[in-house]
Amino acid sequence: MVELIKVSKEYPPDVVALKDISLSIGVGEMFFVIGMSGAGKTTLLKLLCSMETPTGGLIEISGKPIAQLRGYHLARLRQKIGVAYQDFKLLTDRTTAENIAISMEVSYKKPQIIKKRVRDLLDQLGLADKHDTITGELSRGEQQRVTLARAVANSPTMILVDEPTGNLDAITTERVMNLLNKCNKAGATIVIATHDDSIYRHTSHRVMELRRGRLHAVSGGLP
C-alpha cells in the first residue's frame, strides 16, 4: 500500500511541481497518472521511488515513511521498486542484456536465473535479436523497451513507468502493455504516468489527472 498525504514538491527558486497531493494506491493496483507536460507526473514518480524527497507531506510505502529510510533499508526498498525512467538511464556502452541484468545483479540473483529472465523479457518485448547489441546503437523505441525490461526484471512489488509508449508504434505499445498487465496480474502494483490516452481510455483501473501540480480528478476503478 502506497500512501501520499498532502505531498508537495517545490524546486528553487519558486517552481511548484506538486502541491498537496493526497492519495492511496492499493497493493496490486494498476494506477494511471495523466496530465499535460509539466503537470507533475514525473515528479510524482520520482518521489515514489525516493529518487527525490518531498518538500512537504508524507509518503509511506507498506506503512513506512520512505523519507526516513537510509542506507541498507533504502537500498532494499529500491530493489522492490522497478522504475522505467522517461530519460531511460541506460548505460549506453553496455549491451542490452547487461543493462537489463543490472537490476537483478544488485539483489544477487544467480547468473543462470538472470540469463533466463533476460532472454524471456527480450522475447516478450520483441527484442530477442538485440541481446548483445550495445544500447547506444538502439533506436529510441528499443531503448524505451530495454528500460521497461530492466524495471520489471527483478520482479518488483511496485513498478513505476514514465511515458512507456512515447516512442512506440501501436503493436509495440500493445506488447508493452501486455507485459505490464502480466506483472500486475502477478501481484505487482503498477503506476503509469502517461499522456497517451490510447492506453487508459478504456481501462477499468483508476486514472488520476494532475494539472499544474495539483490533483484535478480521480476517475475509474471498480466500485
Q: Are 128 and 119 in contact (CB under 8 A)?
A: yes
Element (H, E) at 114: helix 111-124
CA atoms within 13 A on the CB side of 175: 19
> Is there binding between residue 202 and another protein (CB under 8 A)?
no
Nearer of residues 80 and 212 to another protein, judged by Cβ: 80
What number of chain residues touch another protein (CB under 8 A)? 26
> Is there binding between residue 107 and another protein (CB under 8 A)?
yes
**42, 43, 103, 189: which one contacts another protein (CB under 8 A)?**
103
> Is there binding between residue 154 and another protein (CB under 8 A)?
yes
3-state SS of the chain: helix, strand, coil percent to 5?
35, 30, 35
Enumerate residues 6+ apart whose C-beta is below 8 A from 43: 9, 17, 18, 52, 213
Burial class of residue 130, CB neighbours in 10 A (0-12, 13-18, 19+) = buried
Least Å from the CB of residue 204 to another protein: 31
> For another protein, which stretch binds (CB under 8 A), given 8-16, 100-108, 165-173, 196-204?
100-108
Instruction: Show the site string, 31-70: x = touches another protein by CB under 8 A, - = not.
Output: ------------------x-x-------------------
CA distance 199 to 172: 12
Q: Which residues contribute to the site for another protein (CB under 8 A)?
A: 49, 51, 71-72, 75-81, 83, 89, 91, 102-103, 105-111, 114, 150, 154
